Amino acid sequence: MSDAHKKLAGRLAILAVGLAAPFLFPAYQSQMAELWLFVVFALTWDLAGGQMGYNSFGNVVFLGIGMYACVLTQVGLLYDIGIYNGARGGGSATFVFDLPHYLEGLALGLPVGALLAALAAAVLGAFVLGMRGHYFAICTLGLGVAAGEVANSWEWIGAGSGMVPPTPPQVIGDLSRFYYYFAFALAAVTFLVLGWLYRTRFGLAINAIRDDEDKAEAMGLQTTRIKVAAWVIAAVFLGVSGGILGNLKRFIDPIDTAFSGATFGVWMVLMAILGGKGTLWGPVIGAVLFEVIKEATWTYLLGWQRVALGLLIVIIVVFFPQGILGWLRERFPDRFGRRVEADLSGTAEETAR
């Protein structure tokens, strides 16, 4: 069997497992849906953090914007948002979403979320991505918290008491299974698009920015424009994943779900570094491993999870910065190493597992 066949067989196997998983392990559907969203988080973080060398602590901004935009669209199509959010305290009004309207809201809400997140990335990126490395990192840290604080005080979107996504109609049945397939599809699309992107000139350009930005600029690359484009791409996928996550969780807290720097914001960095940043498969491996560890050990840590998480970050960053895939590449270069074959047209073919 040739390499291409092996690759195809591997991907078909993952597809089959992904499609069948909710029927095989119905008890873990919501965790598996979360897993695919984590894959999206890690992959999109790695686009700027690993491949481009711009480590962001603020990608949750796009997650939160996507989440709020999607849910607000879903509600806003049928009802007044102010009344909807105001009635949570026990109003007399009931809000019913029947199947066509629910699907319509979702079909409109997810793209709106992606669009607004992309817009935010373009506007913020134009300002923020002119900065180099560590200034960018701390600036995005500020952005993430600022967004959470604003959402936490904005009455119209529910402020600190959060927002409840529309109640789905009975026909949909198992909600976790319904959104599992959304999450799975999104993860697959994200993976394929980013895999393709890294093989294009754009991929080479962002790697060049990571390796030496001044030289990349001297070679004639419009670095700021490329950086903004990369961030926008990350934001699109994060925006969609935000819409899915909000509906999956059934409740949006501005600081604990939407703009959650302390959980999702940290986890996406951790997953990407754990798996190996700057690789395509690394973030996927990191996300799977992290979700498995999280689900297996979380309950036994009795409230010490977040302390353990901080320790894990310190340990990984200090002792294991190259990640799993990076370590495998160093250890077994002939099996996992990068093979770059440049042809005359200037594009490079990279085969890395």
Partner 1 sequence: MLDNLLILVQAPTITVDLVLNGILVGAIFALAAYGMALVWGVMNIINIAQGEFVMLGGYVAVIMSAHGVHPLLAVPVAAVLLFGLGWLLYRTVIFRIVERDLFTSILATFGISIVLQQLMNTVFGGDVQVAQAHLGTLLLMGGMVTLAQIKLLSFALAAVLAVVLVLFLRRSRLGQAIRATAQNARAARVLGIDTDRVYAATFGLNAALCGACGALVAMAYTVHPYIGLPYTIRSFMIVIVAGLGNLAGVIAAGLSLGAAENVAGFVLGTQYQLAFVFLLLVVVLVWRNWRLARKRQYLK
Which residues are at the interface with partner 1 (CB under 8 A)?
Answer: 55, 57, 127-128, 130-131, 133-135, 137-139, 141-143, 145-146, 149-150, 152-153, 262, 266, 269, 273, 303-304, 306-307, 309-314, 317-319, 321
Q: Based on CB atoms, which residue is closest to partner 1, 110 or 268?
A: 268
Beta bridge partners of 341: 349
For residue 301, the minimal CB distance to partner 1 (Å) is 10
Closest CA to 129 of 221, 62, 223: 223
Q: Based on CB atoms, which residue is closest to partner 1, 49 or 165?
A: 49
SS3 252: strand
No. of H helices and E strands in the chain? 15, 2
For residue 191, the minimal CB distance to partner 1 (Å) is 25
For residue 267, the minimal CB distance to partner 1 (Å) is 11
Task: Dump strand ranges (E) for the chain.
Answer: 340-342, 348-350
Q: Based on CB atoms, which residue is closest to partner 1, 159 or 232?
A: 159
For residue 232, the minimal CB distance to partner 1 (Å) is 18
Contact 162, 254 (CB under 8 A): yes
Contact 121, 113 (CB under 8 A): no
Angle at 332 between CA 331 and CA 336, to 5 degrees: 120
For residue 213, the minimal CB distance to partner 1 (Å) is 13
Q: Based on CB atoms, which residue is closest to partner 1, 59 or 74?
A: 59
Q: Based on CB atoms, which residue is closest to partner 1, 25 or 154?
A: 154
* Structure token pair of residue 125: 């990126």
Question: Under 8 Å CB-to-CB from 211, ≥6 apart: which residues?
Answer: 53
